[in-house]
Chain A
Amino acid sequence: MRPLSSNPRLPHGFSTFVKQKTSKRETSVEKYILEMRDITKTFPGVKALDKVSFAVKQGEIHGLVGENGAGKSTLMKVLNGVLVPDSGTIVVDGVPVTFRNAKQAQACGISLIYQEFNLVNTLSVAENIYLGFLQTGRAKFIDWTRVRADAAHLLENLGFDFNVREKVQNLSVAEKQLVEIAKALSVNARIIAMDEPTSSITKKEIDKLFSIIRRLKERGITIIYISHKLDEVMAICDSVTVLRDGHIIDTKIATETSSAEIISKMVGRPVDMKYPRRPPIIHDEIVLEVRKVSCAGFVKDISFSLKKGEVLGIAGLVGSGRTELVEAIFGARPLQGGDVYIHGRRTSIRNTADGKRYSMGLVTEDRKETGLALHYSLADNIVITNLQKLCSGIFVNKKLMQANVDQYVQELGIKTPSSRQAVMYLSGGNQQKAVLAKWLFSEVEILILDEPTRGIDVGAKYEIYLLMNDLVKKGKSIIMISSELPEVLGMSDRVIVINEGRKKGELCGDAISPEAVMSMAIQ
């Protein structure tokens, strides 16, 4: 194996002397700071990790890539002690360890920076860094001067000059990320795992983050960099491990591989198989037209239209206002300005019931919070959108209900022992299909899908894509939001790009390319 430090992607200004020194050390001992052996973790209905073995060398930046639902986050939560694996061992510095909680992992020098930040919004930056264990001075009283100075010092070392008394709720996403990194450093973390750190920050901020990561590496800290954005991983990582469907596929030195090779390993089949093709079936009829809609603080003057039989993709970073946009159109959030036209007629949609009346359905991004009533049965969840359809007289006809539910369970291929099964026991993919079934049952014409494939396995994803194709074939129209660029590109007839609440552009046909979309999304 070639020594890591011969990687030409080392940070600028990194002296040759240091390079040689590191390379000597690396060549002499192949030292793994962390090994995870045969980790298995099962959730009801899903085997999230299946005998995963994963090793990281001292002082490297190790990329962990895989599609959403491949098991990356689960693996990291096991490492961090938040989840206890069913079987397998974790070895740190050659010593087997078991973690029951995050604190124990922290004591071992392992910190995880989550995608959703672990910060208390109501407290200051300084207090968040040392949360709950602030430096005390005389008589057990907190030495605030010292705490603030230490916090400022930590952030200064990262190259940032912060007002550490600022409340976290007033920070931007990138700033919160810095606080998280400072928090990890404050407990002398030797291994910092970052889960999708660039999912909602701008290009400029990403560059800044990378320079910090390189600086951390200089200080001998090991970084596990989790992402599904390959170009970033290839740019910063020394080695890359690919995870797919809960299995480790391969570990490669970054310089010895290519994006194409990694992609094929991530996907596990030829790329063109990933998104099922459909013949063009777009009608000329415009079913939905949105004119200059605004929504306080999130969305400003966005206009677009949707044709019958079309899949319209909405691309943009998390937090760019895409979710708020569709919620406002559906009636889940008040519109501050602008008009929505359905079939050319102006509408006034004030609540979600109105949205449903205009034949729209919204599959929300968080199916567990807003998509399903988890302890209710599959049948109850499916029929809730249109109980009137099942009524004979004023009563709900149970026979009719059963027949309808059976039909949709079969049509969508929802795998469940019975339609009376509580949805919490279904796998992610089947839950997502249940949410879709809700709106199909309601016979909506316009289906809005917000992250329809988040956290479900590859097979189920493919089925959802097939289902989408099937729906547009039947003359329905679909708006799809996704954080996964390939998915938006692969499935959409047309893409609009949103950045900071504004529409930055519209692409269709051959003009849809990853570069074009990304440049609009993060300028």
Chain B
Amino acid sequence: MSLKPGIHNFRTKITKILRSQGVLIGLVLIIILASILERSFLTVSNLLNILRQASALGILCLGVTFVMMTGGMDLSVGSTVSLCAVVAVSIMNKYGQGTASNSAALLAIFTVLAIAFFIGVTNGLLIVLFNGRLGETFIITYGMQIVIAALALLFTGGQFIAGTFGTGLYQWMSTGFAPIILFLSLALIMHIVLAYTPFGRQISFIGANMDCARMSGIKVSGIRILVYGICGMCAALTSIIVTSRVYSASPLQGNGYELDAIAAVMVGGTSQTGGTGGIINTILGVLVLGVLGNALNVIGVDANAQLLFRGAIILVAVGLDMWNKSISLKESAK
């Protein structure tokens, strides 16, 4: 028994708030700090810019969230973005001149969606074939990352592809509110799927206890394969928005995206071991990383140093998750 119940209560209350709303508090703190350090941070145009940039990565994060909810991991999404980027821009350059631009855009989008779905399903198949666990998903998708990166480089012969296609639907994908709306509507759909449909609840359950899910008659393998496919398609959409914005494609376009995505998902609070978290968490995580990245840019931290932050953020996020778990375990012991 604590001698000072008042202080004790206050402390537990603070911990409780920190635990449940830590990400939100972090977000607000970063915004306040950045706007103090740099006036130009808190302007409408900059905030819109942040949202626009965060949206591209955000879509990828939605897919990664699904995979991580099942207790898996996908390190190949970065290269998938690269491959889709070069394929999409090549299609646009070839067929998307002048007025044909819109139909070419549709062709490009559906082609890369199909390619990425195929890549994802391949990931999934390799993983479920012999019932791989977290460790194996890491190594297998790491191998896929290298294979697909090589394919992207082979596709262009290592060359950077400049955009030469006409404006239209493809360009629209990254202008104004389009990417933000795309991200938020996709997030809404995926949130509903995850939280309110049998499919989504089975995804979470697989993450919570895969063996139990299998013994409960859930088609674990099928769902896992599908989830990797969905994750791939999200990568494809990300590649479209990114290439549309920069009006070009590099075979190294998506290098490191997988790290950003994993960091954002983990910061949001989706657990590495699966089963807890969700899309809302990921949206918050994406915003935190987006604002942080922009703030670092505005303040003038260079890209290399930001890599340091990214790694640290993954570790801090996981560390906090473990801390959170140990506290709830202690509470339950009482």
In the complex they form, whether A and B have CB atoms below 8 Å apart is answered with yes
Please report A residues at the B interface, Cβ cutoff 8 Å. Answer: 44, 332, 351-353, 355-357, 361-362, 364, 369-376, 380, 384-385, 387-388, 391, 394-396, 424-425, 438, 442
7 more CB-based (< 8 A) A-B contacts, given A352-B216, A376-B208, A396-B198: A353-B218, A357-B217, A376-B209, A384-B201, A384-B216, A385-B217, A394-B197
CB distance from A486 to the nearest CB of B (A): 27
| B333 CB-CB contact with A under 8 Å | yes
In the bound assembly, the distance between CA atoms of A396 and B196 in angstroms comes to 5
Contact A395 B196 (CB under 8 A): yes
Contact A384 B205 (CB under 8 A): yes
Which single member of A356, A369, A438 contacts B211 (CB below 8 Å)?
Answer: A369
In the bound assembly, the distance between CA atoms of A292 and B215 in angstroms comes to 23
Query: Would you give 19 A-B contacts (Cβ < 8 Å), ordered by A?
Result: A44-B332, A351-B219, A361-B217, A362-B215, A369-B209, A370-B211, A370-B214, A372-B209, A373-B212, A373-B275, A375-B208, A380-B201, A380-B205, A384-B202, A384-B213, A384-B216, A385-B216, A396-B196, A438-B216
Residues of A within 8 Å of B196, CB to CB, are: 395-396
Q: Which residue of A lies closest to B208 (CB)?
A: A373
Contact A388 B198 (CB under 8 A): yes
In the bound assembly, the distance between CA atoms of A314 and B161 in angstroms comes to 68
Choose among A44, A361, A384, A395 the residue with the greatest number of B CB atoms under 10 Å from its CB. A384
Contact A355 B198 (CB under 8 A): no
Residues of A within 8 Å of B197, CB to CB, are: 394-396
Contact A384 B215 (CB under 8 A): no
Residues of B within 8 Å of A371, CB to CB, are: 212, 215
CB distance from A192 to the nearest CB of B (A): 32
Residues of A within 8 Å of B192, CB to CB, are: 395
Residues of A within 8 Å of B221, CB to CB, are: 351
Which 10 pairs of residues, A with B, have the shortest CB-CB distance? A356-B217, A387-B198, A373-B208, A373-B209, A370-B211, A370-B215, A352-B217, A353-B219, A395-B196, A385-B216
Q: Which residue of B lies closest to A371 (CB)?
A: B212
CB distance from B229 to the nearest CB of A (A): 19
CB distance from A359 to the nearest CB of B (A): 11
Per-residue interface assignment for chain B, residues 199 to 237, with 1 indicating a CB less than 8 Å from any chain A CB and 0 otherwise? 001100100110111111111010000000000000000
Which single member of B201, B217, B333 contacts A355 (CB below 8 Å)?
Answer: B217
Residues of A within 8 Å of B333, CB to CB, are: 44
In the bound assembly, the distance between CA atoms of A371 and B214 in angstroms comes to 10
Residues of A within 8 Å of B212, CB to CB, are: 369-373
Contact A352 B198 (CB under 8 A): no
**Total A-B residue pairs with C-beta atoms closer than 8 Å?**
74
Residues of A within 8 Å of B216, CB to CB, are: 352, 356, 384-385, 438
Residues of B within 8 Å of A372, CB to CB, are: 209, 212
In the bound assembly, the distance between CA atoms of A373 and B212 in angstroms comes to 7
In the bound assembly, the distance between CA atoms of A376 and B332 in angstroms comes to 14
Interface of B is mostly: helix
Q: Which residue of B lies closest to A352 (CB)?
A: B217
CB distance from A348 to the nearest CB of B (A): 15
CB distance from B120 to the nearest CB of A (A): 21
Residues of B within 8 Å of A375, CB to CB, are: 208, 275-276
Please judge, given known A-B contacts A44-B332, A391-B198, whether A374 and B217 are in contact too, CB under 8 Å. Answer: no
Contact A387 B211 (CB under 8 A): no
In the bound assembly, the distance between CA atoms of A384 and B212 in angstroms comes to 10
CB distance from A430 to the nearest CB of B (A): 15
CB distance from B128 to the nearest CB of A (A): 11
Please report B residues at the A interface, Cβ cutoff 8 Å. Answer: 192, 196-198, 201-202, 205, 208-209, 211-219, 221, 275-276, 332-333
In the bound assembly, the distance between CA atoms of A362 and B197 in angstroms comes to 24
CB distance from A28 to the nearest CB of B (A): 48
Contact B208 A387 (CB under 8 A): no
CB distance from B159 to the nearest CB of A (A): 46
CB distance from A240 to the nearest CB of B (A): 35
Residues of A within 8 Å of B215, CB to CB, are: 332, 352, 362, 364, 370-371
Contact A352 B332 (CB under 8 A): no
In the bound assembly, the distance between CA atoms of A265 and B215 in angstroms comes to 38
Please judge, given known A-B contacts A351-B219, A352-B216, A362-B215, whether A425 and B209 are in contact too, CB under 8 Å. Answer: no
Please judge, given known A-B contacts A44-B332, A352-B217, A370-B212, whether A387 and B201 are in contact too, CB under 8 Å. Answer: yes
Which single member of B201, B208, B217, B275 contacts A396 (CB below 8 Å)?
Answer: B201
Residues of A within 8 Å of B211, CB to CB, are: 369-370
CB distance from B327 to the nearest CB of A (A): 14
CB distance from A384 to the nearest CB of B (A): 5
Residues of B within 8 Å of A352, CB to CB, are: 214-218
Residues of B within 8 Å of A369, CB to CB, are: 209, 211-212
Q: Which residue of A lies closest to B273 (CB)?
A: A375
Residues of A within 8 Å of B219, CB to CB, are: 351, 353
Residues of B within 8 Å of A361, CB to CB, are: 217
CB distance from B187 to the nearest CB of A (A): 17
CB distance from A376 to the nearest CB of B (A): 5
Residues of B within 8 Å of A424, CB to CB, are: 332
CB distance from A431 to the nearest CB of B (A): 12
Residues of A within 8 Å of B205, CB to CB, are: 373, 376, 380, 384
In the bound assembly, the distance between CA atoms of A424 and B331 in angstroms comes to 13
Residues of B within 8 Å of A364, CB to CB, are: 215
Contact A332 B214 (CB under 8 A): yes
In the bound assembly, the distance between CA atoms of A493 and B192 in angstroms comes to 48
Q: Which residue of A lies closest to B201 (CB)?
A: A387
In the bound assembly, the distance between CA atoms of A332 and B276 in angstroms comes to 26
CB distance from A357 to the nearest CB of B (A): 8
Residues of A within 8 Å of B198, CB to CB, are: 387-388, 391, 396
Q: Which residue of A lies closest to B198 (CB)?
A: A387
Q: Which residue of B lies closest to A367 (CB)?
A: B212
CB distance from B69 to the nearest CB of A (A): 13
Residues of A within 8 Å of B208, CB to CB, are: 373, 375-376
In the bound assembly, the distance between CA atoms of A385 and B213 in angstroms comes to 9
CB distance from A415 to the nearest CB of B (A): 17
CB distance from A444 to the nearest CB of B (A): 9
Residues of B within 8 Å of A332, CB to CB, are: 214-215
CB distance from A454 to the nearest CB of B (A): 16
Q: Which residue of A lies closest to B207 (CB)?
A: A373
In the bound assembly, the distance between CA atoms of A376 and B209 in angstroms comes to 9
In the bound assembly, the distance between CA atoms of A241 and B159 in angstroms comes to 81
CB distance from A406 to the nearest CB of B (A): 18
In the bound assembly, the distance between CA atoms of A384 and B209 in angstroms comes to 12
Residues of A within 8 Å of B275, CB to CB, are: 373, 375-376
Please judge, given known A-B contacts A373-B205, A373-B209, A396-B197, whether A384 and B218 are in contact too, CB under 8 Å. Answer: yes
CB distance from A342 to the nearest CB of B (A): 15
In the bound assembly, the distance between CA atoms of A396 and B221 in angstroms comes to 22
In the bound assembly, the distance between CA atoms of A374 and B276 in angstroms comes to 12
CB distance from A380 to the nearest CB of B (A): 7
Q: Which residue of B lies closest to A357 (CB)?
A: B217
In the bound assembly, the distance between CA atoms of A371 and B218 in angstroms comes to 13
